[in-house]
Homo-oligomer: A and B are copies of this chain.
Amino acid sequence: MKNDTILLGHGSGGKLSHDLIDSIFLKYFDNDYLRQQTDSAILDTGGKKIAYTTDSFVVDPIFFPGGNIGKLAIAGTVNDLAVSGATPKYMSCGFIIEEGFSLKDLELIAKTMADEARKAGVMLVTGDTKVVDRGKCDKVYINTSGIGVIGEEYLGISTAKNIEEGDKIIINGSIGDHGMAVMAARNDLNIRADIKSDCACLNTMISEVLNTGCKVKFMRDATRGGIGTVLSELAKSKNVGIHINETELPLDDGVKGMCELLGFDPLYVANEGKVVFVVSQDDADKVLTVLKKNEHGGNSSVIGEISSSHPGSSWLETVVGGKRIIDMLSGQQLPRIC
């Protein structure tokens, strides 16, 4: 390619668009579906039911310790499918790019996406690129959607159909890492902490758990809004009580310090590699053992349980023995965190 930055013509649908597709997107994402460059990818889902999801990513900055917007765009959608009990298979990808954006950075992002997709076993099969004039977006925004196949035995997971009193709540590691890593990376904040985003595709870890045959009643990746929002939504939607022990909540010292300094509640800080599991109490130990063996689950912990008291509410039993309600996040904690 002759230029080293994105031109408006790269979004024209004409020759420059083709050059961009060939020199970057096909170079990294190449597969039989994408190569055909048809209006739609034609896919076989083997007659199974499918799971379908979408997310847009507008994180600022686009590169941060532990990842970049491309890694986030793959992991976010892969995880949304995986927590539904589905095996992620196919993804779409839509780029909105600011005129003047560095082609080198775009290539780095595409390479990361390809690497993550390969590790997660998904294929990027259809895509789109739009270019907007300078100042009309911030470097690059990415939308991904994804399709997974789902077995009949997992259909109840996404709606938490079978949760009941006594079920245990498990998280696969420390909370708030992603949010604080992005905050630390923001130029306008003079903080440098050794905090890395937990951004990762969790489908392999989740399938290891499901393959044990353990009764997984519910899973949700705790992204924007943090685990606080997940727990509060679950309690409200299923009209159950949720009891959380603060002492069991894995929290990195750096993240804790930064949250205290900046006045954030780690319960509401975004994660990009954490899943809240609800599992039958008989299976909790087994799930914990499986999680701890996975690279993304070393600090897994049983953090609480489903209770019959205070239905519709989620409660935190604090370190000092008090109790406080975990409500839904009101207002905005951290804009453009994902």
Contact = CB atoms under 8 A, between A and B. Distances in A.
A155 B42 CA distance: 8
Nearest to A331: B9
Given A9-B331, A16-B331, 12 more contacts: A11-B335, A13-B224, A16-B332, A36-B159, A39-B53, A39-B220, A40-B80, A42-B155, A94-B143, A126-B145, A128-B143, A132-B335
Contacts of A80: 39-40
A86 to B, nearest CB: 6
B133 A141 contact: no
Contact of A54 (B9, B126, B141): B126
Contacts of A330: 9, 14-16
Contacts of A94: 54-56, 94, 143, 145
Interface residues of A, number: 82
A125 interface: yes
Nearest to A33: B52
A38 B158 CA distance: 6
A331 B15 CA distance: 7
Contacts of A145: 54, 92, 94, 126, 143, 145
